[in-house]
Structure 1
Amino acid sequence: MSRARSASSNSKILEPLYEDQLGGREWDDTCDVLVIGWGAAGACAALEAASQGAHVIVADRFTGGGASAKSGGVVYAGGGTRHQQAAGFDDSPQAMFDYLKHETQGVVSDATLQKFCDDSVSNLGWLEGHGASYAHSVPPGGKTSYPSDGYFLYYSGNELVPSHAGAQPPAPRGHRTVGKGQCGAVFYAHLKAACLRAGVQPLLQSAARRLVLDDSSRVIGAQFWSLPQGSREARLHERLAARAERLQNFAPAYCDRLRQKVSQLERDHGQPVLIRARRGVILSTGGFIFNRDLIREHAPDFRRNFKVGATGCDGSGLLLGQSVGAKSERLSRVSAWRFINPPHCWPKGIVVNTHGQRFCNEEVYGATLGQPLCEEQGGQAWLVLDARLRKQAIRQALFGGYWWFQTLPALALMLFKVRKGDNPDRLAAVCGMQAGELNGALCAYNAGARGDGPDAFGKSEGSRQVLDNGPFYACDISVGNPIFPLGALTLGGLKVDESNGAVLNEQGQPIAGLFSAGRTAIGVASHLYISGLSLADCVFSGRRAGLSASCGSEPARDAGAAVHQSDQVDAFASRLAPTEATGVTL
């Protein structure tokens, strides 16, 4: 059995508690299905379970939302949604499958991916049935990292990149929830309200600390450290957590200190609460980008990246699963987002490494660029523009109607974090590149831009532009540039049975009573990120887990087998001690 480790500062995931160790203590509450983590995946699981008549309790370390509420509210949906049709785009489940087959690289079986695509239209309709709205307005100019207000359907991945496109004409599949600004909060608010209407019972400001097993090692509940609702400590906990989420983009170090205080409140004032689940427990607490120990252990190349997510992305769901022997996979997979669009003309420049060598197609989706930048280039790279392209980019940044979070970093990068050279060799010298490498990369690129041959990295003709108008500029797009953060989130998680979301052990067998969904589990988005794919998988995997857990039942219990032999009790006794919580703190 894997030993549990720290999920957050001063907050331990403990070894599981066996039912016969309760010592006569009563359960604080009982339900059919217990969902741990009330983000998008947890909300979808709770809604699906409730629709099957199950009594559902959903517990959350905070007040719900998680990374989903902080997201852009984009759901990757295709196969012919009514919004695609209204915008004049033909799409099919097969075309969607063909494209995602290339992007997901076998992270789930073909049968699971096909079902994800086949269910895409109905899952979007299911969200609309719970209050979320979508529309068919497409932003002008083709590719963008996130559309401006008024536009809600866009190419959110690599659909327009020739090397990634399938045989069918590309179709936009990024369905942004209708709302103002970053629409994740709007998206989640609809799901939360739907849960409450369905009778789902929330247990808020309650951090899961360990799972509870019966004498057959079936998961039958969980123990939480719960802050008394309405108490001074609970109100302070909520304020500090909200401030950390709100200011993360501007003062990450300060927000990390706030999170330490949040964890201290949980440790000092959390009261133990035991919740029994008659049919199943679902783990849906998100990823682990805010768990420094897990990042250091599994994905050290991404330690310097800006953390994308919420405080609850602390690995608690992963560690809870591991505490009962669950198998985890792809913990080293992290999505790093180096967007260089907008400004829309930026991809016409070239991205080079510290030697001056080009290493990617600049028009690809930000995660497709960020992956090699962090894993193969040591997190260091330059975006090279000539004077003509830089002038175009500055004009677009100022007057292109982009979001402030797109415009301000772009302008700062081109005006302040930039190096200049009258010619390529001089620019290379200023940047410390190898002599002749940058000039060679520009000559080869310019030949393709002039139509003398294909681009070495498959860039489409519309994204090529001759770079020969000095002076030349190198913009620092490295992971350590504070004015141009390179965000990251984790993709790995618990291995699940793809037919029902049951968590699997190291031998590939289901752990009775335990399910997982969203970024806590391996899913469609666990290879490489595409905007909207994670929320879409939260809906797909959340509904799957909710349905499966609600159909479970406790095994019949033998009244004569109420106690274990004394040696078994002694063997399990050490699991109760807080000192058995392992690992180091954040």
Structure 2
Amino acid sequence: MKRKKETKKNLSRRDFIKTTAVGVGATALAGLGAKEAKAIPITEVPRWDREADVVIVGCGASGSVAAIEAYDAGAEVLMLEKTPNFGGAGTLSGGAVYGCATFLQRRAGIEDSPDEMFKYVMAIGGGVSDPNMLRVWCENCGALVDWLASLGVQFTGPNYSGEELLYANIAKPAPRGHSTVGRGQALLQVLESQVDLRGIEYLTETPASELIVRSGAATEVVGVRSKTKGLYIKARTGVVLAAGGYATDAAALKKYTMFSLPLLVNPMMKGFTADDGDGIAMAQDVGCDFYGIDTMAPRVLVLVGYPTPGYAYYVGFSVGGVIWVNEAGQRFMDEKTFYGKAPFVLKTQTNAHAFQIFDQAAIAGGGAKVGPFSNDLSKELAIGSIKTAATIRALASVIGVNADNLDATVSTWNTNAAQGKDPQFGRTLVAPINTPPFYAADVRNYAGYNYGGVRITPDCRVVKALGSVIHRLYAAGSTTGGVLGQVHPGAGTMISKAMTFGRIAGQNAALEAPWS
């Protein structure tokens, strides 16, 4: 029975969120939307082991806020989490939350608007975002930041977290990155505490495996099965899929990704393997459509094979004596290129592969200055993640590149660096690479997170391949697609998108009339 809300009356969809009409569009990948359904018909359900108004699959950022909003709208909520812990991939994030027209911007005297954010994100993404979905995010992400602060999240900023200044001819720049004190772990701890405060139940190590449907004039989702736990769970008003994306699953990457060259499974999420596409698969089992399912946000990785590999785009930010060379031993980019674009430049090189070249002077202040390295590099050298040699020519031999080319590349770099310039690519932070020994580390692309996924409407209803909605089924977060384009707009956009639509999904799932 639906829980009576005690603190404030239910909001209508119109009150809760500003939305626009959604277009149907074509299926992202032919054939994927036509997968034979494996959902469980209600006629095959032997019993209901548990029930709630709203059942949420996933206890990450989008699932957490969906649960809070559903509860605050008067619903009884049950959350299912496949891992042993609450928080999901959001605990591994930097904790930045992207937003416009926020209280922190206003406090700092910064003028910003959803329109300017919309123009920027659409432009940097190559114009492929669903404009209706992007508009909803832009109009609601500022309220998200304010709401999180009201729950107890501590922010600093705002700051520029993307390439807003480079798109000033298209959109008025504004700093939209709001950094959480304590990073993603602190953010999710606040959300977990709010879930606990409300007495919302969540079952860990309880993976959802199939949706339960009843058929009639339209497909209707009425519950969830957890096969490993043997549970049939009734959802009286709706199910929210907030199960993350597919960045940690090699099979899903091969199936979905647009990259012709292999992407490494996301090693930054080592030990967190829940982003395996299972929420997407469950939606596919009931005939969902996709939006940009093949669109992956790649990242550049240094220290391939290292137990705790690091983001190469951070490397050398505090020192100048670091360059990247391709397999021919030649520079090919400004190594300080925005991290959302660097992977696409790397992809143009042979085998999408480069080497990071630096010297002893670069690590004199400790390994952290040029990467996530130990101060003396002993650990990295021992396992072969970093190669070393006494001369540049000898280093070329060790890593298998043309010695004449690498020697010429470094010599040219040193000549220009001595004059404080980089005429080839215009880098401003430069320093010679001339203090032996010299070092090289692998640089490759890996799967950061997927931009594409299940197609949803602006109120987060899952859309079928032919354009109608799947009743009582909602989705949010990296399970879904349509908002972001081909290039990452800036730090904090993924989790902002996830939580913005998580709030919408939870609220609207709670507003459904119970089925009978």
TM-score, scaled to structure 1: 0.68
Partner of residue 504, structure 1: 463
Task: Identify the residue that residue 206 of structure 1 maps to in structure 2.
Answer: 206
The answer to whether the 8 Å contact 1:99/1:166 transfers is no
2:507 to 547, 554, 565: 547
List per-residue Cα deviations over 1:20-67 (Å, max 9, x = no partner).
223xx3322333222111111011112222232222222212342111
| Superposition map of 1:105-116 within 5 A | 105-116=126-137
Residue 269 (structure 2) pairs with residue 308 (structure 1): yes
- From 16, 40, 48, give the equivalent of 2:39: 16
Q: Which residue of 2 aligns with 1:384?
A: 357
Q: Which residue of 1 aligns with 2:308?
A: none
Query: Is the 1:418–1:476 Cα contact (8 Å) retained in structure 2?
Result: yes
Indicate the residue corresponding to 2:22 in structure 1: none
- Gap runs ≥5 in structure 1: 5-13, 137-152, 226-265, 480-485, 558-586
Gaps of 5+ in 2: 1-32, 302-311
Aligned-partner Cα distance in 2 for 1:317–1:349: 41
How far is 1:319 from its partner? 1.0
Query: 1:36–1:197: structure 2 CA closer, same or farther, 3 Å change rule?
Result: same
Which residue of the partner structure matches residue 320 of structure 1? 282
Does the CA-based 8 Å contact 2:356-2:443 persist in structure 1?
no
Q: CA deviation at 1:415?
A: 7.2
Residue of structure 2 in register with 1:70 after alignment: 92
**Aligned residue for 1:280?**
238
Matched, 1:351 2:324: yes
Q: 1:15 Cα shift?
A: 1.5
Which sits farther off after the overlay, 410-419 or 352-361? 410-419
Instruction: List per-residue Cα deviations over 1:467-516 (Å, max 9, x = no partner).
Output: 4757694522334xxxxxx7633304533234122222222332222121
Distance 1:553 1:357, change over 3 A: farther
Q: CA–CA distance in 1 between the matches of 2:288 and 2:348?
A: 27
Give the Cα–Cα distance (whole angstroms) in 1 for the partners of residues 276 and 366 of structure 2.
35
Contact 2:81–2:203 (Cα < 8 Å) also in 1 = yes
Q: Provide the C-alpha distance between the structure 1 equivalents of 2:412 and 2:96, rounded to a whole number of angstroms.
A: 37
2:374 corresponds to: 408
Residues 44-63 of structure 1 mapped to structure 2, 5 A cutoff: 44-62=65-83, 63=85
CA drift at 1:532 = 1.5
Q: Which moved more, 1:115-124 or 1:514-523?
A: 115-124
Deviations 1:301-337 (A, max 9, x none): 1246525272322221011111111233333624224
Contact 2:454 2:479 in 1 (8 A): no
CA RMSD of aligned residues (A): 3.7
Using the alignment, how far apart are the partners of 2:505 and 2:492 within structure 1?
20
What is the match of residue 31 of structure 1? 52
1:175 equivalent in alignment to 2:144: no
CA distance in 2, matches of 1:113, 1:447: 47
After superposing the two structures, state which structure 1 stretch, 354-363 or 412-421, moved more: 412-421
1:363-442 map, 5 Å: 363-373=336-346, 376-385=349-358, 391=361, 393-397=362-366, 406=372, 408=374, 411=377, 417-420=386-389, 422=391, 428=396, 431-434=399-402, 437-438=405-406
Identify the residue that residue 218 of structure 1 maps to in structure 2. 220
Is the 1:308–1:488 Cα contact (8 Å) retained in structure 2?
Answer: no
Asked if the contact 1:289–1:307 (Cα under 8 Å) also holds between the matched residues in 2, the reply is no
3-state SS of 1:489 partner: strand
1:125: which partner in 2?
A: 146
Alpha-carbon distance between aligned partners in 2 of 1:447 and 1:128, rounded to the nearest angstrom: 50
| 1:347 to partner: Cα distance | 6.1
Q: Which residue of 2 aligns with 1:189?
A: 189
- Residue 516 (str. 1) matches residue 475 (str. 2): yes
Partner of 1:490: 449
Identity of aligned residues (%): 26
TM-score, normalising length from structure 2?
0.76
Q: What CA distance in whole angstroms lies between the structure 1 residues aligned with 2:148 and 2:406? A: 49
Q: 1:206 to 1:166 in 2, by over 3 A?
A: farther
Structure 1 position 368, deviation (Å): 2.9
* One-letter amino acid matched to 1:33: V
SS at match of 1:135: strand
Distance 2:109 2:436 in 1: 43
Kindly state the Cα deviation for residue 297 of structure 1 after the two structures are TM-superposed.
3.1
Which deviates more, 538-547 or 306-315?
306-315
Q: Distance in 2 between matches of 1:361 and 1:412?
A: 28
- Residue 333 of structure 1 corresponds to 296
1:367 Cα offset (Å)? 4.4
Q: 1:538 aligns with which of 481, 498, 503?
A: 498
The 3 A distance-change label for structure 1 pair 524 and 474 is farther
The answer to whether the 8 A contact 1:450-1:466 is kept is: yes
Question: Distance in 2 between the 1:92 and 1:446 partners?
Answer: 45
1:293-304 equivalences under 5 Å are 293-299=251-257, 301-303=262-264
Residues in 2 aligned to 1:195 and 1:435: alpha-carbon distance in whole angstroms: 59
Distance 1:451 1:119 in 2: 48
Give the Cα separation in 1 of the matches to 2:265 and 2:408. 31
- 2-side partners of 1:445 and 1:169: how far apart? 36
Over 3 Å counting, the alpha-carbon distance change for 1:444 and 1:84 in structure 2 is farther
Give the secondary-structure state (helix, strand or coil) at the position aligned to 1:282. strand
Q: Which deviates the most, 465-474 or 493-502?
A: 465-474
User: Are residues 469 and 408 of structure 1, via their aligned partners in 2, closer, same or farther at CA, if it must alter by over 3 Å?
Assistant: closer
Gap change, CA 1:210 and 1:415, over 3 Å in 2: closer
Alpha-carbon distance, 1:376 to partner: 4.8
Q: Aligned residue for 1:477?
A: 442
Counterpart CA distance in 2 for 1:127 and 1:28 is: 34
1:203, 1:533 → 2: CA distance?
28
The whole-number CA distance in structure 1 between the counterparts of 2:379 and 2:160 is 25
The 8 Å contact of residues 355 and 443 in structure 2, kept in 1 or not, is answered as yes
Asked if 2 retains the 8 angstrom alpha-carbon contact of 1:302 and 1:374, the reply is no
Code of the residue aligned with 2:356 in structure 1: it is L
Query: 1:509 corresponds to which letter in structure 2?
Result: S
Structure 2 residue aligned with 1:290: 248
Q: CA deviation at 1:212?
A: 0.7
State the distance in 2 between where 1:223 and 1:375 align: 44
Q: Distance in 1 between matches of 2:170 and 2:416?
A: 24
Equivalents in 2 of 1:102, 1:395: separation in Å?
41
8 Å contact from structure 2 (residues 395, 440) kept in 1: no
Which whole-Å CA distance do the structure 2 matches of 1:383 and 1:413 have between them? 17
**CA deviation after TM superposition for structure 1 residue 542, in Å:** 0.7
Farther off after superposition, 465-474 or 345-354: 465-474
Q: Secondary structure at the match of 2:51?
A: strand
The whole-number CA distance in structure 1 between the counterparts of 2:451 and 2:95 is: 21
1: CA distance between counterparts of 2:484 and 2:496?
9
